[in-house]
Amino acid sequence: MDFKLVFGSPQGRPSSNWHGSTATIVQSPGDEVWGVVWKMSTSNLISLDKQEGVEEGLYAPIEVDVSTQEGKLLTCRSYQMKDFVYDLPSPQYKKVICMGAKQNGLPPDYQKKLELIETNGYTGPVSIFEEIEAAVKKGKQ
């Protein structure tokens, strides 16, 4: 609660992997971000921080209070982009976010909101996206 999903480029530099901006959350009273909570061992924090670019100063870990659909309140670790410029994600990055929302059963209204996210229109190849699509296809077989 009281956060919204936005897209940006750390220090104004779009992601070379995604050819556009990436997601972060910012405080915004009255808004909400839906997602998935994963239970992890604290021994995985170093690896997760590395994946999220903490060492490079791209993201900072933050604690957020999350209300589950069952009404349980959890304190969770999330990541917030540092020193970013608002920008648009590539269509491929947006599609991965929408696929994840569908796969994890986020509310239909929130999925529709994600589908309306404007993109930068990038049409070239995105190798990480192609890897994700192949994994999804393989999982369905």
Q: Which residues are catalytic?
A: 52
> 44 forms bridges with which residues in the sheet?
none
The Cα diameter of the chain in Å comes to: 43
- The bridge status of strand 3-10 relative to strand 22-27 is antiparallel
String of DSSP letters for 11-57: TT--BTTTTB-EEEEEE-TT-----------GGGHHHHHHHTTTTTT
Q: Is 93 annotated as a binding residue?
A: yes
Binding-site residues from annotation for substrate: 93
Q: Which residues are annotated as a binding site?
A: 93
